Amino acid sequence: MKIGFIGLGIMGAPMAQNLMKAGHEMVVRTRSKVPDALQGATVCKTNAEVARAAEVVILMLPDTPDVEQVLFGEDGVAAGLSKGKTVIDMSSIAPMETKRFAKKINELGCDYLDAPVSGGEVGAKAASLTIMVGGDEAVFERARPLLEAMGKNITLVGGNGDGQTTKVANQIIVALNIAAVGEALLFASKAGADPAKVRQALMGGFAASRILEVHGERMIKRTFNPGFRIALHQKDLSLALAGAKEMDVSLPQTASAAQLMQSCAAHGWDQLDHSALVKALEQMAAHQVAAG
């Protein structure tokens, strides 16, 4: 298929590359140089031009306003769509706004899926992303081969917006687990135990988790180069807390994790990997999990 891809960032670029590896023709718009891995892609001057050239337009953008601007701004995707085309938004944005975007695209005679992902840069490169989809089942089935070129665990959750709701729930769980692992390793280190050996022991018990495995190692080795930046996770927790306020739901642990990330941002750490949330805990304890 001829795929339009807008948003060639840390995750978007390898996702687009995997689509090209699967044999799809790529049409892109980027303000910077096209990554070497995407040489051969057609470069368009506007988002509308991408939509005119492609059968399916995929978005991988930072936040809700970015998606709205790309879709409906001047020379946006909507201006270039024709009846029967499909928009797949793989960004992580507000569920209620997603429903509004989907309705406007549907009114143009086009289909819309919200399909946010989890798995970070590693998952994007390995085409092993978890993809949570909201939209019509028939549209989902048509898009499935594209999604399978980028991910492994692919689930149609429900209608438009439900994919984004699932992603917000995912980000709540991930944030709370990062905070829990950070507190546990900080406690062990401050008590005089070797945090690396504590982590190794815990990996064999009920406390074992992907977060303990990957981000626990990052905390010990001090490798906070971004796979998923704190700034982006902050945005996702803001979506969770805004939704909770709208529904009169209390999310106290989510609020706590959001404050830890805010502390990181205040210290200039918001461009680090979200495992660097531990740095806020270390600041309060005047102790670092491991030297580095």
- In degrees and rounded to multiples of 5, residue 80 shows phi and psi of -105, -5
- CA dist., res. 99 & res. 264, Å (int): 32
* Per-residue tokens: 248: 């009169």
Count Cα atoms within 13 angstroms, Cβ side, for 114: 28
Neighbours of 256 (CB within 10 A): 12
Shortest CA distance to 90 belongs to which of 175, 178, 1, 14?
A: 14
Tokens 């024709």 belong to residue: 82
CA-nearest of 128, 52, 115 to 88 is 115
Active site residues: 167
Q: List Cβ neighbours of 163 (8 Å cut-off, separation of 6 or more).
A: 98, 113, 114, 115, 116, 132, 133, 134, 135, 157
With beta carbons less than 8 A apart as the criterion, state whether 99 and 160 touch. Answer: yes
- Nearest residue to 280 (alpha-carbon basis) of 254, 261, 253: 261
Q: From CA 183, how far away is CA 127, in angstroms rounded?
A: 32
Burial class of residue 23, CB neighbours in 10 A (0-12, 13-18, 19+): exposed
Q: How long a stretch of residues is the chain?
A: 292
Q: Which residue has the tokens 């089942």?
A: 137
